[in-house]
Chain A
Amino acid sequence: MAPLEELALRSAAGDESAFAELYGTLLDPVFRYLYWNIGSREDAEDLAEEVFLKCLVNISRYDPRRGPFKAWAFRIAHNLLVDHQRRQGRRGREELREDLQDGTASAPDSLEEQERARIVRETLEELPSNQRQVIAMKYFAEMSNAEVARAIGRSEGAVNALQHRALRRLGRILEERGWR
């Protein structure tokens, strides 16, 4: 059994240190996924906390036979994100918050890094929300296609198609800007 699943079982049995390990392992991917989707650091922090709270409260319902723990945790993150976006009255192509646009959220070192971050933000703004979620899970949360598929409740084929479409659009923008 993979380490995350073992930790989850120990957490379900009441082992808080096991949950602390899970938290340490998954905090960055979850936060990045939420941050690149929401565009607000504060909202992403609040939502990340909610994700882990829900994980802990419902961890006894997790069954390792039904999939990896990371996918299960990201499923919760995905549902909370959708609820959050619904609450905010946003649709699929909502604008990202200003702190993502003006670059205060990240602190890229070089001019090249800044430009790269700006292009990524602009591209993410152009993508529909389902494509943005796949890109965020795949590249910022470092999840496999199978995990992404389980997390968003789609087939692996659908995830592949979404990923290809998103990458193609991103490639076109890069081409237009002479980054290739």
Chain B
Amino acid sequence: MMAGRRSNGKDDLETAAAAFLAEVEIPPAPQRLREYGLQRVLVRARAKEGGKAPATARRAYRNPALLRHTLVVVVAVLLVMTLSTTGAYAFSLDAQPDSPLYGTKIFFERARVILNLSSAGDMRLEMDFSERRMEELRRMAASGKAGGAERWLREYGRNIEVAGSLAGAVSGEDAERLSLQFQEMLERQALMMQEIRRGQPSGLEEPIEGAFRICDQERARMRQRCGQQGAGAPAQEGGQGDGDCPRTEDSSPQEGASSATFIEPSGSGSAPGESSPLCGEGTLSGDALEAGDEPVEAAPDASQPRIDAPESEQASRDMEYRGDGPGKGHMP
């Protein structure tokens, strides 16, 4: 009964409210909407159907603010990208191999090589980068931090290998000069490694040994290439081959003498298991010099064409350079 009364009460409320609403005066649509609204709707509908495809372009054209906004966004994005790239490059320049920015540094180096279109430019860059590697090694030794040494060795090996392979691709006047510079650089780096090694930096023995081996192999390869060219090609002005190799120091006895001030690499001529002077056992070995370099270094006269590397020996050296020859893994 209570529920019924309550229900009746609710019904009464609703009925009264409904009756009240029914009597409310509702304002009709304005006259202007009635008169012109339909025309506007029809015109807008036609315009909408007529030009759906270029709507965005029209919007941008008719709305300078939108165009300006788009331009501002594009410029801002470009600016942020430029700033972040420049910043990353600047911060990574001095990064050592144990630094998180070292990868960025290497990335930018490779990007520069990729963006360079000439073989001579690529070779110069790789030589510069290998000099950077030596600077990194010097700093690692000075600070006693050997972190990232493996990566350092990998990058150094890559620099030297790429520069060496590019030496054959460079032609013209640059070829001889670059080849000479490359060999001088290799010798300089070998000296530097020897000096650093003398300081007995902890944890850097193996990377230095590996780097020296790479350096040594590349030197041997360069010498062999020059010798071959000198022997195989018709003699030119200086008795050299195609002009791709240095004519003077590299193949002269004096060079051998200068090389004798540091550990002279023996190339593929070293026997497996032969101890490495770098490993602390020996000093400069004249035997090693003679044994390893005799065919190249001991040429009595650089102006004479030399036959110092038979084809089978060259193949053997190439194999060794690739890491699958008999001398694989052995120090000079």
Contact = CB atoms under 8 A, between A and B. Distances in A.
B17 interface: yes
Interface string B20-37: 111111111110111001
Given A27-B37, A56-B45, A139-B24, A41 B30 contact: yes
Interface size class of B (residues with CB under 8 A): 20 to 34
A22 B48 CA distance: 20
A139 B22 CA distance: 7
A52 B27 contact: no
Interface string A164-180: 10011011101100011
A109 B44 CA distance: 38
Q: What is the predominant secondary structure among interface residues of chain A facing chain B?
A: helix
Given A164-B14, A168-B17, A172-B13, A49 B41 contact: yes
Contact of B18 (A41, A119, A167, A175): A167
Contact of B33 (A49, A164, A168, A175): A49
Instruction: Give the dominant DSSP class at B's interface.
Output: helix
A57 interface: yes
Contact of A168 (B14, B20, B23, B45): B14
B40 interface: yes
A126 interface: no
Interface string B196-218: 00000000000000000000000
B27 A106 contact: yes
Given A117-B24, A120-B24, A48 B13 contact: no
Contacts of A167: 13-14, 17-18, 21
Contact of A117 (B14, B25, B34, B42): B25
Contacts of B14: 164, 167-168, 171
A91 interface: no
B7 to A, nearest CB: 11
Interface stretch (A28-36, A65-73, A151-159): A28-36
A13 interface: no
B16 interface: yes
Interface in B47-68: 48-49
Q: In the complex, which of the residues B10, B44, B45 has the most CB atoms of chain A within 10 Å of its own CB atom?
A: B45
B12 interface: yes
B24 A116 contact: yes
A49 B29 contact: no
Contacts of A45: 29-30, 32-33, 37
Given A31-B33, A167-B13, A171-B13, A120 B40 contact: no
Nearest to A35: B27
Interface of A: 16, 19-20, 23-24, 27-28, 30-32, 35-36, 41, 45, 48-49, 52-53, 56-57, 105-109, 113, 116-117, 119-120, 135, 139-140, 164, 167-168, 170-172, 174-175, 179-180
User: Lowest 4 CB-CB distances: which A-B pairs, in order?
Assistant: A171-B13, A31-B29, A170-B17, A167-B14
Given A116-B23, A120-B20, 11 more contacts: A28-B28, A31-B33, A45-B30, A45-B37, A52-B41, A106-B27, A139-B21, A168-B10, A168-B13, A171-B17, A174-B13
